[in-house]
A and B are shown apart, each in its own frame.
Chain A
């Protein structure tokens, strides 16, 4: 910053020097293009420069501060930009030779609100040729809204999927993102990548959640097309078989990234469909899962669950300067090596002071929320954490501004928004509980990929809930506060899950039993006439009374 100010100040002084040839004939200006990967980077630079100018000594008659401020405001253009090209360095070049991926669609987007950059910095020939031919590279945006849209799409699609997949891959011991170019578990590079289970997961997340969330805001109709273009471009970069990134490296700052990269998308979905829920006519009782599509799907619950699994310290964790230790998928947290107490980093270092060791099954991570660490540690330490016992930790993370950042939940939100939020909490808790109980992450991915138990990536979060609430469309709910009508729902936890090996406690026995009973298929071969108070079991008419198969279980306490 100081160096930039010195350069601008030198230009300013030369302009003031009337004895020399004017440096910049009117109306030329200086253009400052910032390359920091920070939103509104140009504005931030400008604010800093103006603040620095204002601090100049104004005690003399020269009024240096005012002159410099005037110069900055009238003769310098600070451009906001969006930059995006993954760059490392050539091995053994000591950082001197950049090593890059192929040029992305939007490697550099510059906010050119006055048109000056277009006229004087980048000749019209280059920019128009690229834009007309849809060549990747540089884009100029004429309005702040256009640039903001580029930033939002990059954040939600590229950064959002990067965070989702990085924690998944790292937990599974895949150290590089190049695994995304493979098909399923094979390393056959000749096979089409469309069958990669990880990419199927991301496709579901993007097409069914992230892109639809873009359309919920007040944006042009072609936003969906732009979003698809951004995903297609990013997808090609993700599956580059020879230019990958360290998955562990991407997991840095995961606690905050879950809020920064997913939060806006999730809040948009929660708030958008809240209106749909309240205006929809009462659906048929037998279409309990075919009602309007809830906003949040299993793909997002899985993303949060995996992130929280990553942030769960081992039972033998020890804090080393804010560093915690986690255990990889397939390993026993009880036997993971204790975190070393000194400042050295054993294993493979993936970031400053953070290591992983694949053979021993551990990794280091940082988390700025000590209360979250305590809650997650408690879930693991109890050795009998059912999903209900993990809700508090999940809800805590989602509502922290340094975490999930879903802070617009609660009394100020609509009833539908809050309900959908709780469904997200519950669904995440189910998947998270399975993971810390020892269910294999890859097995869970395969279950969802195949919809093995009727639940897939695009299923609503409600499908994962253990205990169904009374649908609002029922007539005359039972008077008893403890009574609930149950309707059949497939068990969201497979019989192979290690959750079924955990003891049931007083705190969760109600939900566990309800879940188990709900998933039982009961066939009633006898003719029973039940009153309207029995909801869907109340049948009438000759067709229903002659022959029928019952597929519901009714329990009245």
Chain B
């Protein structure tokens, strides 16, 4: 499920599910850089954290995740699989023999502070529902 301003772009998910998702978040990553997503987020996921990303500037990460989610949904519909709302991104690891191992990392939500309204909406509508804040990750500060 992706959050952007006050809208939900999740293929029909209602507000109750949105609140459930927000309440699951236990790790909030302020930044969407390659290093943060390639190193720390996988560790957090491995530790059973439910991770949300915040892109401080721009919306490219949201767009990328939504695009991937749509592609995954279409693929699952074609294969008549159960639809999942999980957002994921990929991480490549180049092995010594030259082969590339691709890991799929799941996240709960992705926000953007690219616009003033987006940031305002985050603090007004989304943040109050995050009741399990354990970890905040920062990068590029």
Given known A98-B37, A121-B135, contact A1–B60 (CB-CB < 8 A): no
Indicate with 1 or 0, residue by residue over B14-44, a CB within 8 angstroms of chain A CB atoms.
Answer: 0000000000000010110111111110010
Q: Which of A134-173 contact B (CB under 8 A)?
A: 137-138
Chain A interface residue count, Cβ-Cβ cutoff 8 angstroms: 52
Q: Is A544 an interface residue (CB 8 A)?
A: no
Indicate with 1 or 0, residue by residue over A78-94, a CB within 8 angstroms of chain B CB atoms.
Answer: 00000101011110001
Indicate with 1 or 0, residue by residue over A88-109, a CB within 8 angstroms of chain B CB atoms.
Answer: 1110001111111111000110
The answer to whether A241 and B134 have CB atoms under 8 Å apart is: no
A359 to B49, CA, bound (A): 52
Given known A10-B123, A35-B40, A123-B47, contact A96–B60 (CB-CB < 8 A): yes
Interface centre among A21, A90, A99, A102, by most chain B C-beta atoms within 10 angstroms, is: A99
Inter-chain contacts of A122 with B (CB < 8 A):
43, 47
Indicate with 1 or 0, residue by residue over A234-260, a CB within 8 angstroms of chain B CB atoms.
Answer: 000000111100000000000000000
Inter-chain contacts of B33 with A (CB < 8 A):
35
Indicate with 1 or 0, residue by residue over A1-42, a CB within 8 angstroms of chain B CB atoms.
Answer: 101101110110010000011011000101111111000000
A174 to B79, CA, bound (A): 49
Interface centre among A21, A87, A103, A123, by most chain B C-beta atoms within 10 angstroms, is: A87
- B34 CB contact (under 8 Å) in A14, A36, A88, A241: A88
Given known A108-B43, A121-B47, contact A97–B92 (CB-CB < 8 A): yes
Q: Is A45 an interface residue (CB 8 A)?
A: yes
Measured CB to CB, the nearest residue on chain B to A76 is: B136
Inter-chain contacts of B37 with A (CB < 8 A):
98
- A87 CB contact (under 8 Å) in B38, B43, B133: B38
A107 to B56, CA, bound (A): 24
Inter-chain contacts of B38 with A (CB < 8 A):
85, 87, 98, 100
Q: Is A120 an interface residue (CB 8 A)?
A: yes
Which of B4-12, B70-78, B93-101 forms contacts with chain A? B93-101
The answer to whether A85 and B39 have CB atoms under 8 Å apart is: yes
Q: Is A542 an interface residue (CB 8 A)?
A: no
The answer to whether A100 and B92 have CB atoms under 8 Å apart is: yes
Indicate with 1 or 0, residue by residue over B55-77, a CB within 8 angstroms of chain A CB atoms.
Answer: 01000110010000000000000
**Could you tell me the distance in whole angstroms from the C-beta of B93 to the nearest C-beta in chain A?**
5
The answer to whether B96 and A102 have CB atoms under 8 Å apart is: yes
Given known A7-B28, A87-B35, A100-B38, contact A24–B133 (CB-CB < 8 A): yes
Measured CB to CB, the nearest residue on chain B to A41 is: B141
The answer to whether A33 and B46 have CB atoms under 8 Å apart is: no
Measured CB to CB, the nearest residue on chain A to B48 is: A123
Chain B interface residue count, Cβ-Cβ cutoff 8 angstroms: 47
A10 to B123, CA, bound (A): 7
Q: Is A343 an interface residue (CB 8 A)?
A: no
**Could you tell me the distance in whole angstroms from the C-beta of B3 to the nearest C-beta in chain A?**
15
Given known A31-B136, A32-B136, A35-B39, contact A4–B92 (CB-CB < 8 A): no
The answer to whether A100 and B94 have CB atoms under 8 Å apart is: yes
A123 to B49, CA, bound (A): 10
The answer to whether A3 and B91 have CB atoms under 8 Å apart is: no
DSSP majority for the B interface? mixed
The answer to whether A3 and B139 have CB atoms under 8 Å apart is: no
The answer to whether A35 and B31 have CB atoms under 8 Å apart is: yes
The answer to whether B34 and A98 have CB atoms under 8 Å apart is: yes
A31 to B40, CA, bound (A): 14
Indicate with 1 or 0, residue by residue over A105-118, a CB within 8 angstroms of chain B CB atoms.
Answer: 00110000000000
The answer to whether A1 and B141 have CB atoms under 8 Å apart is: yes
The answer to whether B134 and A30 have CB atoms under 8 Å apart is: yes
A85 to B35, CA, bound (A): 8
Q: Is A482 an interface residue (CB 8 A)?
A: no
Q: Is A126 an interface residue (CB 8 A)?
A: yes
Given known A3-B54, A33-B40, A85-B35, contact A241–B123 (CB-CB < 8 A): no
Inter-chain contacts of A32 with B (CB < 8 A):
135-138
- A23 CB contact (under 8 Å) in B123, B131, B136, B138: B131
Measured CB to CB, the nearest residue on chain A to B56 is: A3
Measured CB to CB, the nearest residue on chain B to A95 is: B34
The answer to whether A45 and B138 have CB atoms under 8 Å apart is: yes
**Could you tell me the distance in whole angstroms from the C-beta of B130 to the nearest C-beta in chain A?**
8
Inter-chain contacts of A1 with B (CB < 8 A):
141
The answer to whether B134 and A107 have CB atoms under 8 Å apart is: no
**Could you tell me the distance in whole angstroms from the C-beta of A31 to the nearest C-beta in chain B?**
5
**Could you tell me the distance in whole angstroms from the C-beta of A107 to the nearest C-beta in chain B?**
5
**Could you tell me the distance in whole angstroms from the C-beta of B19 to the nearest C-beta in chain A?**
13
The answer to whether B138 and A35 have CB atoms under 8 Å apart is: yes
Inter-chain contacts of B134 with A (CB < 8 A):
28, 30-31, 120-121
A273 to B128, CA, bound (A): 61
A27 to B67, CA, bound (A): 40
Inter-chain contacts of A87 with B (CB < 8 A):
34-35, 38-39
The answer to whether B140 and A36 have CB atoms under 8 Å apart is: yes
Given known A4-B141, A6-B123, contact A242–B43 (CB-CB < 8 A): no
Inter-chain contacts of B46 with A (CB < 8 A):
126
The answer to whether B113 and A3 have CB atoms under 8 Å apart is: yes
Inter-chain contacts of A4 with B (CB < 8 A):
30, 136, 138, 141
**Could you tell me the distance in whole angstroms from the C-beta of A473 to the nearest C-beta in chain B?**
52
Inter-chain contacts of B49 with A (CB < 8 A):
121
Inter-chain contacts of A31 with B (CB < 8 A):
134-136
A240 to B93, CA, bound (A): 12
Inter-chain contacts of A3 with B (CB < 8 A):
30, 54, 56, 113, 119
Inter-chain contacts of A89 with B (CB < 8 A):
34
**Could you tell me the distance in whole angstroms from the C-beta of A142 to the nearest C-beta in chain B?**
19
- A10 CB contact (under 8 Å) in B91, B100, B127, B138: B127
Q: Is B117 an interface residue (CB 8 A)?
A: no
A94 to B61, CA, bound (A): 10
Inter-chain contacts of A20 with B (CB < 8 A):
128
The answer to whether A23 and B133 have CB atoms under 8 Å apart is: yes
The answer to whether B93 and A101 have CB atoms under 8 Å apart is: yes
A348 to B31, CA, bound (A): 30
Interface centre among B37, B89, B96, B137, by most chain A C-beta atoms within 10 angstroms, is: B96
The answer to whether B123 and A98 have CB atoms under 8 Å apart is: no
6 A-B pairs with C-beta separation under 8 A: A14-B128, A30-B136, A83-B39, A90-B90, A108-B40, A241-B98
Known: A4-B141, A21-B131. 5 other contacts (CB 8 A): A32-B136, A35-B36, A96-B61, A102-B95, A137-B43
